[in-house]
Structure 1
Amino acid sequence: MLTFFRINSIFQVITLLALLLGLKMIYIGSKLPLLTYELEWMLVGEKLNEGLKLYSEVLTQVGPLSSFVYQMIDLWAGKNQFVYETIASVLIFIQTLYFVFITNRRNLFNEKNYIPGLVYLVLINASFDFLKLSPALMANTFVLMALNSTLRQIEKREGVGDDVFEAGLFLGIATLFHLPSFVLLAWAILVLFLYTGINIRQTFMVILAFIMPIFFMYLYFYFNDQAEYFTDIWLFHLSYSFDFSLLGLRDILVTFVLPMALGFFGIIRVLRGHRYNSFQNRSHQLIIISSIFILVSFFVSGQYTPSNMIYIVAPLAFFCAGFFIHGKKMLIPETLFLLFFVTTLFISVSGAKPFLGVSQNGLANFRVIESELKPQYQGKRIFVTGQHIDAYKTNEMATGYLSWSLAKNDFEKPNNYVSLSNIYNNFKKDMPEVIIDGENVIPAIFKNIPELGAKYKASEKGIYVRI
């Protein structure tokens, strides 16, 4: 397989597409598990199409550009998991080809081939949640563009040009999809200082280009009288908790231990390459440095799932490809790649569903399970308190209290006038038919808002039905 992908022709593009479709065929007959954060993305689009305003009425930390994409998809297909995953597959294929373009156009290896694209496609299947249309996956397209722009500046013999602003612009757009992307601005500025003759004016150009798309998005919310919510709920609302569960840590290790081990040996082989010129050596170092900042962006994300580490796929793919490209003889690299391919695919598939008698039950903490609501509560507009939003899979969501980490600021302060006012106004706009109180916060709310409490009766413990 490696020998075939060493050839640089259009047939390799077709083969990569066929390989992607073949990998998708593995899941034919059984859907990928629906994840809670994936359900939240769908609900964001649904609530925006109901006329609620992002961040002021729809409480979520999904980026604005990602939210608008989900809104367009919901307008066309509703909560259709297949459509979301199909769009994700198209995006993955585009990123694969663009990654090949970067490695070949920038001459990161001494030979132009499609092995980096092949390895990238394998690694993007290392975890089944990489195949979801996540904000990080959408942002990754622009992170790759920023990587290409940065490499182009390092490659120039005449010095840094004013088009250096592109790196900041692409990272600014990526940030509007996935907030932790902002960390990579520091990486871009650092490597430009280390490996180019960038001056202060050009540095400010990069920073201003990064700020520009965020500023225009701020203006959009400002002219819709939503600027305060944009900044408080999303822009300046980073997670400061580093809560790694054992299951979450297991998922990360299972996904990345093999690629990182192979990437480590790939780094050794690439850095020992004797035929690389000065630009290539600097580029290889740049990619290594990017991995450090990618890990920082992962930690500030606050949600420690493989999909939030998707930026690391490109550096890993590059050095894993280098491991195979620099392999001696022919049989050994082919054999090792086959083992790598089969093992990675087996880990991914067995994490999603039972496969050949093995099931890892990957991302068990985030899987949406079938709702246990009794039939009389099904088919209603419901509101759920707490992190477990599984009931929204088969029922319509009432109110815009989507993210409990944000909503609890109101519901856990029943004696605060502003919180009570927020709850009353949100309920008035979209009154739930059924309230499922998983956090036991509703009694205190009803006590302090008797007008609201009079509209409901307790049907059973933790469930309130509108009269």
Structure 2
Amino acid sequence: MLTFFRLNSLFHIFSLLFLVVIVKLPFFGEKLPLLLPELEWMLVGEKIHKGSFLYKEVWTNVGPFSALVYWAIDASFGKVQYIYEFIAILVVYFQALYFTFVCNTRQTFLEKNYAPGLIYVLLMSLSFDMSKLSPVLLSTTFLLFAFNKLIKQMERREGVSDEVFEVGLYIGIAALFHQPSLIFIPWSIASLIFFTNANLRQHFLALLGFILPLFLTGLYFYFYNSLDEFKYNWFSGIFKIKQYSLEDFKSALIAITVPSALTILGFLRQTRVSRYNSYQQRTQQIMLIWGITALLALFLSPNVAPMQFIILVPCFAFFITGFFLHVKGAFMPEILFTVLFIFIVFFQFQGVTPLFGKGFEQLADMRVKPQELPELMKGQKMLVIGERIDEYRFGESATCYLNWDLSKIDLENPDNYESIINIFDNFKKDPPTIIIDKQNVIPKIFMRIPALASDYKSTNLKGIYQRKF
């Protein structure tokens, strides 16, 4: 397969599509487990489609541009899991093609071929959650655009142009899809400083391009009197470093072990090849800085899952491609690639539909679990209070309190006057029919707000309240 894709032919545009279908098709059609973050994305799109204003009436840390995509999907197709997965497949295919285009057009390797796209598609199949339409997947598309524009500046004989503005612009757009992408602006500035002759004005142009989409988005929320909500939901939590245990990283670390080793070997091999010119060597160094920056971005991510490593895939694909292109021998590259292909496909199957034993039970805590709810409660407007929002699979989200980490500032502080006002207003504006209280905060809230308590009654299920009619 590797030898086939080392040919430079337009036919491989369709070959890549065929590969994506082969790798992803066995899990298409709601066969993949639904994940809690994925359910939140769907609920965000659904609530915006039904008229709720992002961040003001939907408390979530999903980026505004990602929320826009989820709204468009819900408006067109509804809350359908396989539609999200189908669009994710198209995005992966586009990224693989574009990554190949950049490598060939910018001559980052000694030969033009479709091996970069082949490796890219394969790496995007490391774990089943990489087939989800995540904010990090959407964001990586624009980071690839920024990478293309950046190395184009090194290729220009007449020096750096004002197109560096676009480098910053694409990173700013990427950040509005996925907040940790903000950290790539230092990557671009460092690359311009160390590997180009950009002057001070051009550095400011790149920064201006980065700030512009953020400023315009902030201005939009300001005109709709929700700038404070935008800052609270999205901006304020970006640089809050989260504490993760090794157990949280377990499935993600297992997934990237072999690709990480091949990436290191690929970098070492490429740096020892004397035929690369100065421009190509600088491109390798820029991609190395990408990898370091992406590792830092992982610690700013809202959750721990292999999908967060998508931001590392371009770096991995770049150096792993170099590794295979420089392995000596007629058969050795093909044998090593076959081993890698089997490992990745096997790992993906073991995480979803195990071929042997119980599988890896990958992301077990992040999967939406079947919940036993009375039939009368299904399809109702719900408020689920807690980190796990599994019950929303059977109903609609009510009130603005969607994300627990953001909602706790109100729901856990009913002694605070401002919180009381917010809770009362949000309940009256969008009253839930069912309240599922997993944090035991409702009794105190009802005690502080008797007007709300009179609207609800306890059920025979612990922590579940039903609205009186």
Q: TM-score w.r.t. structure 2 length?
A: 0.97
Amino acid in the other structure paired with 2:101: F
The CA deviation string for residues 92-122 of structure 1, in whole angstroms up to 9 with x for no partner, is: 1000000001111111111000011100000
CA-CA distance at 1:238 after TM superposition: 2.1
Alignment of 1:14-53 (within 5 A): 14-28=14-28, 31-53=31-53
Alignment of 1:272-421 (within 5 A): 272-421=272-421
Q: Is the 8 A contact 1:382 1:395 kept in 2?
A: yes
Amino acid in the other structure paired with 1:19: L
The CA deviation string for residues 297-339 of structure 1, in whole angstroms up to 9 with x for no partner, is: 1111242222122110001001111111001112111000000
The CA deviation string for residues 409-445 of structure 1, in whole angstroms up to 9 with x for no partner, is: 0011010011111111111111111111100000000
Q: Distance in 2 between matches of 1:358 and 1:436?
A: 32
Q: 1:372 to 1:246 in 2, by over 3 A?
A: farther
Q: Is the 8 A contact 2:153 2:161 kept in 1?
A: yes
Q: TM-score w.r.t. structure 1 length?
A: 0.98
Q: Distance in 2 between matches of 1:393 and 1:291?
A: 36
Equivalent position of 1:174 in the other structure: 174
Equivalent position of 2:245 in the other structure: 245
Cα RMSD between the aligned structures? 1.2
Equivalent position of 1:187 in the other structure: 187
Q: Distance in 2 between matches of 1:358 and 1:275?
A: 48
Secondary structure class of the residue paired with 2:99 = helix
The CA deviation string for residues 13-43 of structure 1, in whole angstroms up to 9 with x for no partner, is: 1111011111122225761110000000000
Q: Distance in 2 between matches of 1:332 and 1:254?
A: 25
Q: Distance in 1 between matches of 2:336 and 2:30?
A: 30
Q: Is the 8 A contact 1:239 1:302 kept in 2?
A: no
Secondary structure class of the residue paired with 1:16 = helix
Equivalent position of 2:73 in the other structure: 73
Amino acid in the other structure paired with 1:414: P
CA-CA distance at 1:254 after TM superposition: 1.3
Q: Distance in 1 between matches of 2:405 and 2:211?
A: 27
Q: Is the 8 A contact 2:30 2:81 kept in 1?
A: no
Q: Is the 8 A contact 2:35 2:366 kept in 1?
A: yes
Q: Is the 8 A contact 2:183 2:293 kept in 1?
A: yes
Equivalent position of 1:62 in the other structure: 62
Structure 1 portions without partners, runs of 5+: none
Equivalent position of 2:82 in the other structure: 82
Q: Is the 8 A contact 1:66 1:176 kept in 2?
A: yes
Q: Distance in 1 between matches of 2:356 and 2:17?
A: 26
Q: Distance in 2 between matches of 1:194 and 1:29?
A: 47
Q: Distance in 1 between matches of 2:63 and 2:138?
A: 11
Amino acid in the other structure paired with 1:124: M
Secondary structure class of the residue paired with 1:10 = coil
Q: Distance in 2 between matches of 1:303 and 1:53?
A: 24
Equivalent position of 2:433 in the other structure: 433
Name the stretch that deviates more: 228-237 or 166-175. Answer: 228-237
Q: Is the 8 A contact 2:29 2:82 kept in 1?
A: no
Q: Is the 8 A contact 1:154 1:196 kept in 2?
A: yes
Amino acid in the other structure paired with 2:451: E
Q: Distance in 2 between matches of 1:25 and 1:90?
A: 12
Amino acid in the other structure paired with 2:38: E
Amino acid in the other structure paired with 2:467: R
Q: Is the 8 A contact 1:150 1:188 kept in 2?
A: yes
Amino acid in the other structure paired with 1:64: P
Q: Percent identity?
A: 46
Q: Is the 8 A contact 2:184 2:293 kept in 1?
A: yes
Q: Distance in 2 between matches of 1:86 and 1:302?
A: 24
Secondary structure class of the residue paired with 1:157 = coil
* Structure 1 residue ranges (4+ consecutive) displaced by more than 3 angstroms after TM superposition: none
The CA deviation string for residues 162-215 of structure 1, in whole angstroms up to 9 with x for no partner, is: 111111000011011111101000000001100111111111100011000111
Amino acid in the other structure paired with 2:212: M
Q: Distance in 1 between matches of 2:370 and 2:209?
A: 46
Secondary structure class of the residue paired with 1:339 = helix
Equivalent position of 1:113 in the other structure: 113
Equivalent position of 2:266 in the other structure: 266
Secondary structure class of the residue paired with 2:465 = strand
Amino acid in the other structure paired with 1:407: S
Equivalent position of 2:466 in the other structure: 465
Q: 1:239 to 1:407 in 2, by over 3 A?
A: farther
The CA deviation string for residues 380-399 of structure 1, in whole angstroms up to 9 with x for no partner, is: 21111001100001112211
Q: Is the 8 A contact 2:28 2:85 kept in 1?
A: no
